[in-house]
Amino acid sequence: MRETTLTSSTSTLVHTTLPSTYQVVQSVLKVLKRNSSAGRRGGDTQAQARAQAQIRGRKMAAGFKTVEPLEYYRRFLEFGAPPTDAPDKGYVVPNVDLSPLCSWRFRSGPPGEEAQVASQFIADVIENSQIIQKEDLCISSGKLAWVLYCDLICLNHDGNILDACTFALLAALKNVQLPEVTINEETALAEVNLKKKSYLNIRTHPVATSFAVFDDTLLIVDPTEEEEHLATGTLTVVMDEEGKLCCLHKPGGSGLTGAKLQDCMSRAVTRHKEVKKLMDEVFKSMKPK
């Protein structure tokens, strides 16, 4: 299946049959149980939290890894030193992995352009929306801080990767539990108490809404891969619950007037409410554990 098989006749089909009404998104959020094999000796760093988000056929799985000091590896540096220009901040490192598993378009090897752009987008969303305070990740100012590696692995690519990534990220962040760390004054080593864990403090809930633009007139919410391919432009709006915009990502493409943008904003607000409701439901059902 190569790009060349999509001819102009397909694009006329798009114009005549796709309505410009809001397409309802069926999103299913499944939060997987936290992997409780942390005590296994010799095991690799364990995922602290996992969440899987599925939106109309696109699946993204997000996992969080924090380097856990197991008995075996105590001598190694388990945490990171905070950056010199911000001694009381930790790190959140997102990485989006688009592997050949999810689509025929990707090859194995170093991350391609789409994966890099998506990683940068997620990093921007984390920073702009202040979803977690990096100060919360600091254990001891200037010496030790948590490094949260967020790996977003695409399981199935059917377009609209950025939305799915944001949902998965949010769900996974809500599920992360960091163990308590104290620094022993005599030995100056960190001591991790795996029995006492606490959830991260999530301050805002950014939700992304993507649109595909066709010839400056038609706007489709939540495009599939085929729609994205035929579109002349895309637009992603990330909004948090107060109606503040964290990110307006429009990477080129055909032009949009101010009025059309306004339209997109109002749909983004509706979408945010739906997603938030769904997420709250899921987490409420999960909490007593």
Partner 1 sequence: MAFLDFRGGSGRVQIVSKRRATCGRHSWSPRVGACVLRTHLVRKRALLGGSNKPRLHVGSRAMEGAMQTESKIRADSRTEPGPRGPGCSLRHFACEQNLLSRPDGSASFLQGDTSVLAGVYGPAEVKISKEIFNKATLEVILRPKTGLPGVAEKSRERLIRNTCEAVVLGALHPRTSITVVLQVVSDAGSLLACCLNAACMALVDAGVPMRALFCGVTCALDSDGTLMLDPTAKQEKEARAVLTFALDSVERKLLMSTTKGLYSDAELQQCLAAAQTASTHVFRFYRESLQRRYSKS
Candidates 251, 270, 273, 281: give the one binding partner 1 (CB under 8 A).
Answer: 251
- Contact status: 116 vs partner 1 (CB under 8 A): yes
Q: How far is the CB of 109 from partner 1 (least distance, A)?
A: 14
Part in contact with partner 1 (CB under 8 A); list of ranges 15-23, 119-127, 161-169, 272-280: 119-127
Residues 193-222 that bind partner 1 (CB under 8 A): 216
Helix (H) or strand (E) holding 274: helix 258-286
Nearer to partner 1, 52 or 119 (CB): 119
Contacts 24+ apart (CB under 8 A), 229-232: 229/3, 229/6, 230/6, 230/10, 230/11, 230/14
**Beta-carbon count within 10 A of 150 CB:** 24
Residue type, 21: T
d(CA 86, CA 73): 28
- Contact status: 83 vs partner 1 (CB under 8 A): no
Say how many CA atoms lie within 13 Å of 119 toward its Cβ: 18
Angle ∠(162,167,171) on CA atoms, nearest 5: 150
Candidates 117, 147, 218, 278: give the one binding partner 1 (CB under 8 A).
Answer: 117
Angle, helix 161-175 to helix 113-129, in steps of 10 degrees: 50
- Contact status: 92 vs partner 1 (CB under 8 A): no
- Contact status: 159 vs partner 1 (CB under 8 A): no
200: tokens are: 């991260």
Q: How far is the CB of 11 from partner 1 (least distance, A)?
A: 12
Nearer to partner 1, 191 or 226 (CB): 226
Q: How far is the CB of 3 from partner 1 (least distance, A)?
A: 8
- Contact status: 240 vs partner 1 (CB under 8 A): yes
Residues lying near partner 1 in the complex (CB under 8 A) are found at 3-4, 113, 116-117, 119-121, 123-124, 127-130, 216, 232-233, 240, 243-258, 261-262, 265
